[in-house]
Amino acid sequence: MFTKMGSDKELCDMFFPGLYEEQGSCAILGGDFSIFTNYDQLAYAYLALTAFGINFDFGGAAQTALEQTFVMTFADLATQQPIGQRGSFDPVTGVGSVVVPNLDPGIYPVAATCVAPNLDLLLAAIEQASTTLEESGPALPLPNDFDLFASLFEFGPQLIVPMMSPRALGVQIFSILADVDHFQCYRARTTGFNDLPVTLSDRFGTRSVTVRSPLDLCAPANRNGEDPEAASSPDFLTSYRLSNSGPQQVSGVTAENQFGSVALNVRSPKVLMVPSAVSQTAPPASPDGAFLNHFTCYDVRLATAASAPDPGTVTVQTAFETVQVQVRKPTRLCVPTSKNGEPIVASSPENLLCYKAKSKGRLNPAPTLFLNNQFGQQTQRLGQRRDLCVPTDLTTPAT
């Protein structure tokens, strides 16, 4: 590339009229910076010197450039634009890596491409580089003591990017999983809720049920100081009673979480947990920003009398209080649910196992809350503490 840029008479005459005839080439390495009378010329010089530096590995430029010939990044398929920082590539091991950007949970493409300079893009790259230098580069005319090579490390890498074009492209689909918090549930008193028919689908089946009055408000919780940000999370869940959908039992389900492993028999669904936006000051305008998945909660019984570990006492911090609760046996298993055909977003872990919890005292004063979810705006007054729900992995028996 340096040969092309440094000795092509037509290109040289375009930016430095008469220079080629004067010295037999278009080299601009002599240190006479008075030849730069506009930013097009300076842009040409930076691109030529960048190519020179790569060609002769000036200051390790070749190694740096080699790492950039393989580019991996999260991408937006609709706009064809990268998301987050560009990944790195180790040419020795052949291993590439990319940092997962701060994105909402969901499915995203990761694009990997090999890039190389394309001389057909040279003029466009010079034009773009000229604009960049005029906005943020050195002032013209350059003084004779200006160190063009030193400034190359500041400007060269970004100026040469418009000349790079992909030679090969691969796309891999990547799932960003939702984090599942612990939840401390409180008895919620609500008036004026109308029953609603819904269809629920989860790992245990599909059923049509009626959603009845609210039961609890479950607040994201910081357990034993493990997740200080949880107490300020907007991801609340409101639980609603479900109409009786008939008897059901799935035996031999194994639940595993921070409290250990327990064998459960899963019975009929009793509760639907609905993502809810919550405010202590005014009704939220919409449920946006609330936890992503619905959960259907099933009554559970221990498969054997000795199968449940003793979780003991834990410290729970929510938006309302910090309190110690004594965790007892599991009472409900809550699994991600598609309500009326809505998608389920992958999370890790996927499920919640709710334990009966005993504690001293109660919220004082009991807050009145405004909430908004898919069932509309509601007002709740919180009462006593109830279950503590813990992120849980499940293993179900083969069918």
What pLDDT does residue 4 have? Answer: 45
Q: Is the pLDDT reported for residue 333 higher than 90?
A: yes
Give the predicted TM-score (pTM) of the model. 0.65
The more confident residue out of 15 and 378 is 378
Query: For residues 112 and 281, what is the distance between their CA atoms, to the nearest angstrom?
Result: 47
Categorize the per-residue pLDDT at 171 as very low, low, confident or very high, splitting at 50, 70 and 90: confident
Nearest partner of 159 among 180, 192, 134, 181, judged by Cα = 134
Coil, strand or helix: which one is 129?
helix
- What does the pLDDT average to over 8-23? 76
Most confident by average pLDDT, 33-42, 309-318, 339-348: 309-318
Query: For residues 212 and 333, what is the distance between their CA atoms, to the nearest angstrom?
Result: 19
Nearest partner of 284 among 380, 198, 215, 179, judged by Cα = 380
Contacts within 8 Å (CB) and 24+ apart, 337-341:
337/200, 337/201, 337/202, 337/272, 337/293, 337/294, 337/295, 337/296, 338/200, 338/201, 338/202, 338/294, 339/198, 339/199, 339/200, 339/272, 339/274, 339/294, 339/374, 340/198, 340/199, 341/199, 341/201
Beta strand segments in 130-282, E: 164-176, 178-179, 182-190, 196-202, 205-223, 236-242, 250-257, 260-279
What pLDDT does residue 1 have? Answer: 38
Nearest partner of 176 among 107, 109, 235, judged by Cα = 107
Query: For residues 88 and 69, what is the distance between their CA atoms, to the nearest angstrom?
Result: 10
Query: Are the C-beta atoms of 373 and 290 separated by less than 8 Å?
Result: yes
Tell me the pLDDT of the chain averaged across its residues.
Answer: 84
- What does the pLDDT average to over 238-258? 87
Query: For residues 97 and 399, what is the distance between their CA atoms, to the nearest angstrom?
Result: 39
**Cβ neighbours of residue 79 closer than 8 Å, sequence gap 6 or more:** none
